[in-house]
Structure 1
Amino acid sequence: MSAHRAIVRAGGTVSVATRPTPAPRTGELSVATLCAGLCGTDIQILRGLRDDPAPVIGHEGIARVVAVGDDAPAWCTPGTLVAVNPTHPTDPGFLLGHNVDGLLQERTLLPAAALTGGMVVPLPAATDVGLAPLLEPLAVVEYALGALSAFAPRTLLVLGDGTIGHLAVRAARRKLGEDVRVVLVHHTAEGRVFSRSLPHHADLLLTPAELAAARPAGPVAALLATPRDATVAALEAVLAVAGPDLVVDIVGGLPHGARTAALPGLDLASVRAANCGGLPDPPRITTTGRGVRLFGHRGVANHHLLTAAAELALAPGHYRDLITHETDLAGAARVMRRLAGSRNRVIDGRRLVKCAVRINDREDA
């Protein structure tokens, strides 16, 4: 294949375009995406909330190795099923789908840093590719809940009703214990109605206004799975209702230098950036002047991806319905244009949680 199709950002919109397909050089790797997901950060890029430069986005998915350059490890041969860990823990030059072209294309050339940095993760041949869009976000949830479990919370507050929020609700008891009370806080009343219709939902479904009147039983853990322009407000909402026996994980992004008067002098973005790609392990946690423990993280370690893959293989029915839409490259470009121009998450008559993009369906892709 000397050319391939890709969803390309250009001229303020996205469309399917043909791109040249370079052969991998020494240390590089070419993969064919089988199925990829559209992520909340992708939507933020489309809406101009982030300035990531890659013209091809997409960092959630499963691919098959097509060609390898010289010096590839012995396991990395054509036909191998892989996931790509999108966030390099020590090399900011590799951030898949952000500053390196992502997976929403028929062929993706991965730079040498991906292999030398161990960012390409082989998967079992029997992996359910249809669940690929949930793999990386579930790995994020594995990281978050694993860190929060050290504090033995009685209540878990999940703010944000996107993919991460819904996955956290479903994985909470497995990671935090059967007795934990799970509360999901939605952006809108319509989101709460949707959540209630799902086969697996939180013990308590609230809107932000209802959270303000809640008094969650402590100890309380909060997971903020919000867009970067809503994360500070979500943190302030949690601080207003919980006592000092509170630990907060900032999963959602933050603007550079983000602060809140509720925690004077604290650079929230720096707190989140202190943990990257699973390092350090355990994560670095800040204790604020009011006794609240606060941390965040960007990316996951490979073992989080493999744990998530094992969980999806063990209980696929527990998660599969969160893939609410499935389409091809052209359909995904249409969905992306809709989401870029509107905050309305209803696409084709159904609320979008996770969109699966089937790109290469052939076994020999």
Structure 2
Amino acid sequence: MRASHRAVVRANRTISVLKRPTPIPNDYELLVAPLYAGLCGTDIQILRGLRSDPTPIIGHEGVARVVSAGSGVPERLTPGTLVCINPTHRDDPSFLLGHNVDGLLQERVLIPRSAVCNGLVLPLCEIVNTEISTLLEPLAVVQYGLRLLAEHRPHTLVVFGDGVIGHIAVRAAVELLGVTTRIVHMHHTKRGMDWSSNHPVPAVHCVLHDTKGAQFLSELPADERVAVLLATPRDATLLCLDTALHNLRGELVIDLLGGLSPDAVSPLLPDVNLPQIRAANCAGSPNPAVQVTVSTITGTKVCLMGHRGVANKHLSDAAAELTKHPLRYRELITHVVSLDEAANIMRQLAASRDRVIDDRRLIKLAVQIAPEHNLVGGAG
């Protein structure tokens, strides 16, 4: 009888825990057992129908244990090795973990030859084998973006977005930009502001993205360099971009980290292909990164950049940061649940714009897939 395993599956307009046949790895393929997997803002957009990513099993953040390997797999990836999988392949668009290939929200995942041979499976130190590992990939993305912005030596950093990326950014910013950098955190909702008030970060100015918030931005010094990180969902990025362009008066550089629909156009930048700029830097390539200077219809110059995914080095740096400063980020993991509990929460998130789960605001959901046992073969 063929082995099977449990997975959180999107099918028939709902989300359920179902049995799936467990694959056997062929040459240069790996079978891994996810230990912890995170639910990110992009995943929530998929659940809500804001994105059309086809895979029925999402999840691209977390750690796994190698279960079995096909011939030709490097010796460093022997069964039992703790690994993370870089979800973005620089050269193969057919591999985007948890988007167009089955993701980590299941007990077994087959990692295809293309990803294995490209080095996208990274061995890890055992110290990150906890729920903190669900912050590894998002922290790597944030650090990459902040380092690009740091090249402009900003006096002020404005972070739009009060999801996990925004909260990671304001916690990581001081170390990468310096203690003299002013940090402004723009929030979408009053509930988001309340959460930040209860989990303050020293020297961070928390502001609601409303009329008063826009005025706050317009009153920042006009003779300073200002960096903007758009840590926003696909349906909010353009609004936040326009708020920044309308109100910030200093020398401006903006990272289009947030999602953008393929036809996204800003009325202030009607001739600028924003999705193309956002996608110009993929998985840490090219180096140096593509940055484009454009002018708004009012004549304001702005430097724009963006990026999809990270390089392996960024993941290694993020692992080192989490190992060194776990308490800096641990409070962002607000919910730790099982596969069955995750399916229930995902149904709630799909049906509502609300992010309050069990009377607590959801920042980061970490899913503990299964206890470590039966690492050879299927799950049952």
The answer to whether the aligner puts 1:309 opposite 2:319 as a matched pair is yes
Matched residue, 2:72: 71
Pair 1:224-2:225 in alignment: no
Give the distance between the partners of 2:200 and 2:250, measured in 1 at CA. 34
- Whether the 8 Å CA contact 1:27–1:115 is kept in 2: the answer is yes
2:378 aligned residue: none
Taking only aligned residues, the RMSD between alpha carbons, in angstroms, comes to 1.2
Equivalenced residues, count: 365
Alpha-carbon separation, structure 1, partners of 2:129 and 2:147: 24
Q: Does 1:242 align with 2:248?
A: yes
1:110 equivalent in structure 2: 111
Please name the residue that 1:7 is paired with: 8
Please tell me whether the aligned partners of residues 325 and 356 of structure 1 are also in contact (alpha carbons under 8 angstroms): yes
Cα distance in 2 for residues equivalent to 1:321 and 1:128: 17
The yes-or-no answer on 1:362 pairing with 2:339 is no
1:350 maps to 360
Match of 2:144 in 1: 143
Identity of aligned residues (%): 53
Is the CA contact 2:159–2:170 (under 8 Å) kept in the aligned structure 1? yes
**Contact residue 338 and residue 370 of structure 2 kept, 8 A:** no
What's 1:341 paired with? Answer: 351
Amino acid at match of 1:287: T
Match of residue 100 from structure 2: 99
The 10-residue stretch of structure 1 (132-141 or 117-126) with the greater mean CA deviation from structure 2 = 117-126
Match 1:325 to one of 335, 352, 367: 335
1:241-260 aligned within 5 A: 241-243=247-249, 245-260=251-266
Contact conserved, 2:54 with 2:100, CA < 8 A, in 1? yes
Query: 1:279-325 deviations in whole A, cap 9, x for unaligned?
Result: 11221001002320001111011111110000000011111010000
In 2: Cα distance, 1:364 partner to 1:187 partner: 44
2:175 is aligned with what amino acid?
Answer: R
**Other-structure match for 2:270:** 264
Q: TM-score, normalised by structure 2?
A: 0.94
> Is residue 43 of structure 1 aligned with residue 53 of structure 2?
no
- Aligned: 1:88 with 2:89: yes
TM norm structure 1: 0.98
Partners of 1:342 and 1:227 lie apart in 2 by 15
- What is the CA-CA distance between 1:34 and the residue it aligns to? 0.4
Aligned residue for 2:197? 196
Q: Post-superposition shift, 1:216?
A: 2.6
Shift in Å at residue 189 of structure 1?
1.4
Residues 244 and 292, structure 1, Cα contact 8 Å, conserved in 2: no
Moved more, 238-247 or 171-180: 238-247
Q: 1:161-188, CA deviations, whole angstroms, 9 ceiling, x for partnerless residues? A: 0000000000000000011111110101
Q: What SS class does the counterpart of residue 75 from structure 2 fall into?
A: coil
**Post-superposition shift, 1:22?**
1.1
SS in 1 for 2:91: coil
Q: Per-residue deviation at 1:130?
A: 2.0
After superposition, the Cα gap between the structure-2 partners of 1:202 and 1:223, relative to the gap in structure 1 and judged at 3 Å, is farther
Cα distance in structure 1, aligned partners of 2:87 and 2:110:
13
Runs of 4+ in 1 over 3 A off after TM superposition: none
Cα separation, 2, equivalents of 1:65 and 1:17: 22
